[in-house]
Amino acid sequence: MDAIILQILNGLDKGSAYALIALGLTLIFGTLGVVNFAHGALFMIGAFCAVTLNKILNLSFETVDPSRTDFLGNPMVVKTPYVEGWFGPEVGASIIDWSVPLSILFCIPIMLAVGFIMERGLIKHFYRRPHADQILVTFGLAIVLQELIKHYFGANQIATPAPDVFRGSFDFGAMLGMDPNVIIYPYWRLVYFAFAALVIGGVFAFLQFTTFGMVVRAGMADRETVGLLGINIDKRFTIMFALAAVVAGMAGVMYAPINSPNYHMGMDFLVLSFVVVVVGGMGSLPGAVLAGFLLGILESFASMNEIKSLIPGIDQIIIYLAAIFILLARPRGLMGRKGVMED
Binding site for other proteins (CB under 8 A): 2-3, 6-7, 9-11, 13-14, 68, 70-72, 76, 150, 154-159, 161, 167-169, 181-186, 188-189, 258-260, 262, 264-265, 268, 299-300, 303-305, 308, 315-316
Shortest distance (Å) from residue 93 CB to other proteins: 14
User: How near is the Cβ of 14 to other proteins at its closest, in Å?
Assistant: 6
State the minimum distance, in angstroms, from the CB of residue 211 to other proteins: 39
- CA 167 – CA 3 distance, rounded (Å): 22
DSSP state of 75: E
Name residues whose C-beta falls within 8 Å of residue 56's C-beta, 6 or more positions apart in sequence. none
Q: Which is nearer to other proteins, 314 or 341 (CB)?
A: 314
Query: Cα–chain-centroid distance for residue 342?
Result: 27
To other proteins, the closest distance from the beta carbon of 318 in angstroms equals 11
Query: Torsions phi, psi of 127, nearest 5?
Result: -60, -40
List strand residue ranges (DSSP E) for 120-262, in order: 169-171, 184-186
Separation between Cα atoms, residue 52 and residue 57, nearest integer Å: 9
Task: Tell me how far, at minimum, the Cβ of 294 lies from other proteins, in Å.
Answer: 15
Provide the minimum distance between the beta carbon of 201 and other proteins in the complex, in angstroms, as a whole number: 24
Measuring CA to CA, how many Å separate 163 from each of 54, 171, 196, 263?
12, 19, 18, 23
Please say which residue, 101 or 213, places its beta carbon nearer to other proteins. Answer: 101
CB of 152 to other proteins, least distance (A): 13
- Closest to other proteins by CB, 161 or 286: 161
Q: Where are the beta strands (DSSP E) in 82-228?
A: 169-171, 184-186
Q: Give CA angle at 291 (336, 16), nearest 5°.
A: 135
268 and 142 Cβ atoms separated by less than 8 Å: no
Pair 10, 300: CB distance under 8 Å? yes
Nearest Cα residue to 114 out of 93, 91, 144? 144
- Give 76 or 221: the residue with its C-beta nearer to other proteins: 76
Rounded Cα distance, 289 and 340, in Å: 17
Distance between CA atoms of residues 242 and 220, nearest Å: 16
Paired strand residues for 81: 60
If the CB atoms of residues 17 and 288 are measured against other proteins, the closer one turns out to be 17
Q: Measured from the CB atom, is 285 or 322 closer to other proteins?
A: 322
Nearer to other proteins, 113 or 159 (CB): 159
Residue 211 or 305 having the CB closest to other proteins: 305
Q: How far is the CB of 150 from other proteins (least distance, A)?
A: 7
